[in-house]
Structure 1
Amino acid sequence: MNDRSSEPGKGAAWPKGMQFANRFARHLPGDFYAEVDPVPLPSPHLVAVSRDACRLLDLDPAEFERRDIVEMFSGNRTLGGTQALAAVYSGHQFGVWAGQLGDGRAHLLGELETSHGHFEVQIKGGGQTPYSRFADGRAVLRSSIREFLCSEAMAALGIPTTRALCITGSPQPVARETVETAAVVTRLAPSFVRFGSFEHWAALKRHDQLRTLADFVIDTQYPQLRGEPQPYAALLKEVALRTGRMVAHWQAVGFMHGVMNTDNMSILGLTLDYGPFGFMEAFDALHICNHSDSDGRYAYRAQPQIAHWNLYRLGNALYPLIDDADAARKAIEDGFGPGYNDTFFALMRAKFGLATAHESDDRLIRDWFQLLQDNHPDFTTVHRALAQLPAEVAEADRSGADAPLRDQFIDRDACDRWLAQWRARLALDPPRTDADRRAAMNAVNPKYVLRNWIAEGAIRAARDGDFSEIADVLRCLRHPFDEQPEFERYAAPPPDWANGLAVSCSS
């Protein structure tokens, strides 16, 4: 029988006899990390659990009724046979070299091999580490709820992302702009290695460690690259490809990361470190979701360019191993260009209900984004509305079916001109019924995304001790493409109290 004792500090037995390991520590020297236990969280309680993330670990959500499991994911219990650690890395922050950084409030508890793959289990908010740089190492309930909900929402949208298993909370006060309460969010990923992990050793000119890290990533995450003539260039190309695909998904759904520093860029092309993120509402390509980003470096329109810039920082870090500037440059361009462009155009064709590719698609997409920029409709709502329109203009005229979409544009004549262009393009595809096309479009154009006001509503309720809103939002966002009458409120315009909501690097 598993240990169900609740005495803090003792080891917690993992359900079903599963054993944690830590290949990060087993395969990498001690200068890659610090062995450090989380600081216990006073009086922890469970705030939320993701059933979908539990499934990744072959974990029954009912296990969270156990006190020792809640204690474990709060940092109060160790895991049998493993030592928690914090990883070191460096990075460029807002385009400026920041030097050594590291897991200042994150602890890798261990790693699991499950029927769904390999996962590192990391808690965020577990207290100070040697890399905390005078910070308290804690996370607050507000930011933990935002990361938990967005991680799972992005996964449901089909966007590459780290996952969130659970949130635990505590009455412990934590000082931010105001005094808030502490929380810990548990994150899952095959690896949390970042671009900045490589930049760290390159900046120190410690090329043996750089090679050790690159070999570790190839062997554990990209074993198919081991036989390549230039495995480190192949690694760079694969990371560039995955990064391009990830950012293309962001752009197509209107997601803005907010802090695309190189230490926030995953070596696996996963959306990593949710802070001041946002989903586009009234469209503006220059929109800045991060109140701290006064220069707009990470505006929506800039995200592909910044990802490309970050890849060149990674390329510079890997250059001592590649030792060929042209090969490094080619790896980035051959990876990122196709990764971004092919994915973005495929996603946009699907959003428009197009079943084939055509040379006119580039113009159609560009004209659409110019129309959005000129009129500022809601990004999610307008794409959902497009799916409801008939392909034949005669049917649209007879039924008035275009009105719900046209009414979202100030310049209705410009909208009509684009719709004529869209219908002409639909006619180039093999024939299919409006019903079939509508179903295909609804399957890729979400009705529900994690708007800031939705997250804020869940946060305000949780501060009052009501966690049911978090559960409701999570249930809704698990099925973002479905009509869900019980959650229609999450597809409504923002309430009046949401005017002026802003998020920053402390979010």
Structure 2
Amino acid sequence: MKSLQQLVFNNTYSQLPSLFGTSVTPQPLSNPYLISVNPHIAKLLELDINAIQSDDFVNIFSGNDTLAGFDPIAMKYTGHQFGQYNPDLGDGRGLLLGEVQTSHGKKWDIHLKGSGLTPYSRMGDGRAVIRSSIREYLASAAMAGLGIPTSHALAVIGSDTHVCREKQEFGATLIRVSESHIRFGHFEYLFYTQQHDQLRLLADYVIQHHFPECQQVEKPYAALFEQVCENTAKMIAHWQAVGFAHGVMNTDNMSILGLTFDYGPYGFLDDYNPGYICNHSDYSGRYAFNQQPSIGLWNLSALGYALAPIIDKSDIEHALEIYQHQLQMHYSKLMRQKLGLFDSQEQDNELFQQLFNLLKQQSIDYTLFFRTLSMLSQDELDNASSHFSSLSENTTAIDEWLADYKKRISNTDDQQRLALMLKSNPKYILRNYLAQLAIDGAEQGNFTFVENLLTVLHDPFDEHPNFEDLADLPPKWGKELEISCSS
């Protein structure tokens, strides 16, 4: 494992023309302190955990010091926000500090969120607060634990710097780690400013560093777009299967690699509600849970439009069809795994629809229903009412569905079915009220709850007997939390 000074940087993005971003020096936080560090992300970077827990680390990643190899850049991009094109976007409170290269040649962006003013801050202050930083820190850990493509977060640093939001809060920085921070909006920026040569240059850069296999085909840019469509489809299929709502699926928040990032007013389903709106600022429900697949298509269409100068229209249309096919295929596969089904049968659609209707009508907790089902053998399904009594007052309808489900799995090996279900249905998810409890503790200087959540979220399919309460049904107040973009 390496010390901070032994990190190897290879800052390829900073070698692109200056129009791709602006060099900016981070603005320091006052009296910074370490809130939490994720040891699994330290391992990704081959970084000694002791180095992260040092004063040097805190000073460097709070803007009070620097590290050889850093080349801080605020990236320039644009994008569609709630369906409207906005030309005045970019890294308004974050900086790409550098690109760390591991001993295996893997490249990781090191990004500092909450680093202060940049040319793209608009009317903002360029700061992040403890609240939003902890939410993203925990969310990225949760998604990684669930096996969903995501950006990562190495650590959260708090401070005494006052920041004004709906109330006075304290500034923080999040050290984000990702294979790339390039977004759909990077390409939209170059298209709408008619910089088509630079658009091609950026596509070449993405292919070289992330999709080298596209270099070997007749139409590399079309192959790139196809890959982006497929990766995005897989990501959103995972979201839908696990019950995750992103909340702000603007094109500037969409990763060109199909990673979940820019966590803000996200939410995991508690009671099953397909129209769940996690973002209190989303007045029209554009980004409701059940709208995410169609919004993914909308965003990819916007990206395809931006790539029109270098990709034929027919190839763009073909890639968008691939998105829809891949999304349905991967979602169906994931949902079958959640029910322990090893093959696809004609009646499965009806079985699933009846289940979704049941969950919705009785407001049954999405995660706990599937986890409970994962614990029941075929023999136990005949008298399963007691197992679901905490989730629903009316178990008669559940029993009726379970009878149909038992018929469907009658020829399935029970041990194999349960094993598949237990690794497909998490016991622990990052419910909003759990994130809020972690935030409340951290704002009072107690980081224990953050660490406890980090433990279970890394392995959400395991039992964790010391943390059983973190898998409980949420309290009523926990279902009523309002989360807005200011998070």
Aligned partners of 1:248 and 1:340 also within 8 Å: yes
Structure 2 CA distance for aligned equivalents of residues 148 and 82 of structure 1? 22
Instruction: Please give the secondary structure, in 2, of the residue aligned with 1:110.
Output: strand
Paired position in structure 2 for 1:62: 50
Distance change in 2, residues 1:257/1:481 (3 Å): same
Residues 1:405 and 2:363 are matched in the alignment: no
Contact kept? 2:149, 2:235, Cα under 8 Å: yes
* Counterpart for residue 416 of structure 1: 399
- 1:266 counterpart residue number: 255
- Alignment of 1:103 with 2:91, yes or no, is yes
Cα deviation, residue 499, structure 1: 5.4
Counterpart residue identity of residue 60, structure 1 = D
Choose the corresponding residue for 2:71, options 76, 83, 98: 83
Q: Does the aligned pair in 2 maintain the 1:79–1:109 contact within 8 Å?
A: no
Report the 3-state secondary structure (helix = DSSP H, G, I; strand = E; otherwise coil) of the residue aligned with 1:224. helix
> What SS does the aligned partner of 2:261 have?
coil
The one-letter code of the counterpart of 2:184 is F
Offset, 1:473: 1.0
Cα distance between partner residues in 1 of 2:386 and 2:245: 29
Shift of 1:119: 0.4
- 2:174 matched residue in structure 1: 185
Name the residue aligned to 1:388: 375
Match of 1:363 in 2: 350
Give the superposition deviation at 1:92: 0.3
Aligned counterparts of 2:381 and 2:252: Cα–Cα separation in 1: 50
Q: Confirm or deny that 1:52 pairs with 2:35.
A: no
Contact 2:29 2:160 in 1 (8 A): no
Confirm or deny: 8 A CA contact 2:26 2:115 kept in the other structure. Answer: yes
Q: Name the CA distance, whole Å, in 1 between partners of 2:78 and 2:28.
A: 27
User: 373-382 vs 262-271, which deviates more?
Assistant: 373-382
Q: How much does 1:421 deviate?
A: 2.1
Amino acid at match of 1:416: D
Is 1:339 aligned to residue 326 of structure 2?
A: yes
1:289 corresponding residue in structure 2? 278
2: CA distance, partners of 1:32 / 1:476: 39
Provide Cα deviations, 1:298-355, integer angstroms capped at 9, x if missing partner. 1010000100100000000001111x21211111212x12321121111111100112
Runs of 4+, deviation exceeding 6 Å: none
- Provide structure 2 residue ranges, at least 5 long, that are not aligned to the other structure: none
Q: CA deviation at 1:112?
A: 1.1
The number of aligned residues is: 485
* Partner Cα distance (1:333, 1:103) in 2: 32
Cα distance per residue 1:24-67 (max 9 Å; x no partner): 012x1111010111111111111100011111000121112321
Aligned 1:52-451 pairs, distance under 5 A: 52-115=40-103, 117-322=106-311, 324-334=312-322, 336-392=323-379, 395-397=380-382, 400-405=383-388, 408-428=391-411, 431-433=412-414, 435-451=415-431
Structure 1 residues 410, 230: closer, same or farther in 2, change over 3 A? farther
| Cα offsets for 1:188-216 (capped at 9, x unmatched) | 11100000110011111110111111110
* RMSD between aligned residues: 1.6
What is the distance in 2 between the residues matched to 1:191 and 1:271? 11
Query: Could you tell me which residue of structure 2 aligns to residue 6 of structure 1?
Result: none
CA distance in 1, matches of 2:348, 2:175: 42
SS of the residue 1:226 aligns to: helix
Structure 1 unaligned runs (5+)?
3-12
TM-score norm. by structure 2 comes to 0.96
2: CA distance, partners of 1:47 / 1:407: 36
* Identity in percent: 46
CA positional deviation for 1:286: 0.7
Q: Give the structure-1-normalised TM-score.
A: 0.93
Q: Is the 1:123–1:187 contact (alpha carbons within 8 Å) kept by the matching residues of 2?
A: yes
In the alignment, does 2:446 pair up with 1:466?
A: yes
